[in-house]
Amino acid sequence: MPVVTSSLSGAVRTVLIDNPPVNATSVDVRRGLCAAFEEAAADPRTRAVVLACAGATFVAGADIREFGKPPQDPHLSEVIALVEACGKPVVAAIQGTALGGGLELALGCHYRVAGEGARMGLPESTLGVVPGAGGIPRLARLVGVPKALELATSGKPVTACAAREMGLVDAVTTDDPRAAAQRYAEDLLQRGAGPRRTRDLPLAPPPAGYFDDIRARLAVSHRGQEAPLVCVDIAEQSLLRDFDGSVAYGRERFRERVASPQAAALRHAFFAERAATRPAGLPEPDAPVRRAGVVGGGTMGTGIAMCFLNAGIPVTLVEQNEQALAACLRNIGKTYESDVAKGRLDDAARQRRLDGLRGTMAFEDLRDCDLVIEAVFEDMAVKRQVFASIEAHARPDAIIASNTSYLNLDALAEGMLHPENVVGMHFFSPAHIMKLLENVRGARSSPQALARIQALGKRLGKVAVMVGVSEGFVGNRMLSRRARECYFLLEEGALPEQVDRVLHDFGFPMGQFQLNDLAGLDVAWRARQGRLDRLSERERACGILDELVARRKRLGQKSGAGFYRYDAQRKRTVDPEVSALIEQDALRRGFLRRTIGDEEILERCLYVMINEGARILEEGVATRPEEIDAIWMNGYGFPRYRGGPMYYADRIGLPRILARIHAYAEQVGAQYWTPAPLLAELARKGAGFYSS
């Protein structure tokens, strides 16, 4: 089937792109468009053109799969120039998403008609590249430099209505966009309106100082990322060059970016997340979740309830007493009011979500739920009792999920009448914000139950990764190894601010001790108390947390002091009292503290995680490295432009990592630094996690 066809209706020729699944501008599409527009220009019956796409979406961009391979002519910018040069008015009919090269193609058309649900944007920088087909020079002519750069540097799409407001589209329709565009083209002909080329519009300079200001802002908001800053260069150069020179400059900078390590890592991230959320061997889910039950209205239960409500799934929320229930419902109401105040939500949507929420203290009210998730206190006995109550009142085919972070799901399922319905759904706080969801397959979870929670995860807008039962599943298990090394480093000579700076400079949003302070040192302390019997002698003897939490009541940000001191705006400062405490604790235990270099800190934090990731793959807790990368990029802030821990390991080279693991085994102890057999084997073969 040709990916581009055209047909004449009256005096309007419709050029149709049909390249599933997202009408990406592959080389065949580009060549087909050239042929179609040459035909349209030459055909005397054709007096106007509609450019449309088959399927659910307009062009969602260049074909990412072509990146990193030798470019094939024609370049998209040449195709767009041909469209724009057409002597007859060209109208783009936009449905679904017009993204990247898709929006650039639409900008080359003379007019744009969008369906009301359509979205359009320039997400190239999220892939480490930049609009390479004239997107910034054209968009800036239509909406101004600041708005054009807001789209290009954020990568976030705008709605059709917002696009019309800013002058990006000419009309928004509730009808089929192709039909509306046909009528729009006919109306142009009746009015004698001809082509309106974006390139001919003047380019207004932004306010004085704008470029310095946006570069300063990006250095913070997009710290470490190269592509957003190159977008700024393209806009700035567009003011200094003529239009064709601007397009050529953008194309050159695209070619430079697409070959960069950051672009390779971000492309990996894009495809890894899609692979990670589609575990092999699952059946098609046989029924959607129409109503969800949430037991426990604390921080996690509240966030989980809002995940469902935000996705349009009604919720029955169970709390144990009036006061707790009222507090939970109040918190949800306040969150939505705040979203409305910030313009994230309109009032009708807020009301719809609240209308879907039913609070109760009766487990009986769970009887019409397709899935019930518990988010109660992290204690085995408490959770088992709640599981039993849920099963006693919910439908026998209802999925029963635990939000546990650390407890063994199979132990939770023991004694249940239907263990095949028991799964884990590990949300990350704040649950209604964080993208990651670890879906846990229990030993007896049915394929249908797993298929349904995977489909549910996508419906909730999560990166839902299926993991096996293991202490801490995948993310927390690897994090606990990094935490152990960080505490060891404090004993051996480092201080919290040095460890945190190294991790922050690597690209994490915050370091280990800032993270502990944010989550609450009491949480870390309780988790440690629950694992004392499984800790080594050295780990048990490490008294820093006991001193901070048990004796000095320093609970982290929420108490104004933890590893750091915090002011009323939660701004942190280093606390000499903590440094003294660390030094005294080390002295008391006979450590001879030394100066530790940043490189050792980074290696010990990252390589211990990579080694644990290899063990996780060996045990089948994760089935492929993409899952580990997706988890760490979406749940723990691993910088996307480095691709995730396992991708990053391949870039460093497993032989080097193995050599450093052996060195740390000597220095720190083999019980903490034994190479995972899979890592050692891959290193021996000179292979990687992605190139075995």
Q: Which residues bind ligand T1G (CB under 6 A)?
A: 21-22, 24, 60-65, 76, 97, 99-101, 104, 123-124, 127, 129, 131-133, 135, 274
- Bridging pattern class, strands 158-159 and 119-121: antiparallel
Minimum separation from the CB atom of position 374 to ligand T1G (A): 29
Minimum separation from the CB atom of position 588 to ligand T1G (A): 55
414 given a catalytic annotation: no
Question: Is the Cβ of residue 133 or residue 483 nearer to ligand T1G in the bound state?
Answer: 133
Question: Is the Cβ of residue 135 or residue 562 nearer to ligand T1G in the bound state?
Answer: 135
Question: Is the Cβ of residue 275 or residue 523 nearer to ligand T1G in the bound state?
Answer: 275
Question: Is the Cβ of residue 22 or residue 49 nearer to ligand T1G in the bound state?
Answer: 22
- Bridging pattern class, strands 436-441 and 422-427: antiparallel
Minimum separation from the CB atom of position 281 to ligand T1G (A): 16
Q: Is residue 234 a contact partner of residue 240, using CB atoms and an 8 Å limit? A: no
Q: How far apart are CA 182 and CA 50, in angstroms?
A: 6
Closest CA to 377 of 320, 416, 306, 422: 320
Question: Is the Cβ of residue 259 or residue 361 nearer to ligand T1G in the bound state?
Answer: 259
Minimum separation from the CB atom of position 326 to ligand T1G (A): 38
Backbone angles phi, psi at 295, to 5 degrees: -110, 115
Minimum separation from the CB atom of position 67 to ligand T1G (A): 7
Minimum separation from the CB atom of position 294 to ligand T1G (A): 26
Question: Is the Cβ of residue 21 or residue 343 nearer to ligand T1G in the bound state?
Answer: 21
Q: How far apart are CA 375 and CA 664, in angstroms?
A: 39
124 given a catalytic annotation: yes
Q: Which residues of 471-488 are buried (b: 16+ CB within 10 A; e: fewer)?
A: ebbbbbbbbbbbbbbbbb
Question: Is the Cβ of residue 100 or residue 297 nearer to ligand T1G in the bound state?
Answer: 100
Backbone angles phi, psi at 79, to 5 degrees: -65, -45
| Helix intervals (H) in 342-413 | 347-355, 380-393, 409-413
Q: List the Cα angle 112/98/30 in 5-degree steps.
A: 90
Q: Is residue 151 a contact partner of residue 139, using CB atoms and an 8 Å limit? A: yes
Instruction: Please provide the distance, in angstroms rounded to a whole number, between the alpha carbons at the two ends of the chain.
Output: 37
Q: Is residue 333 a contact partner of residue 255, using CB atoms and an 8 Å limit? A: no
Active-site pick, 38, 78, 84, 124: 124
Backbone angles phi, psi at 115, to 5 degrees: -65, 150
Closest CA to 194 of 84, 300, 114, 288: 84
Minimum separation from the CB atom of position 121 to ligand T1G (A): 8
* Catalytic residue list: 104, 124
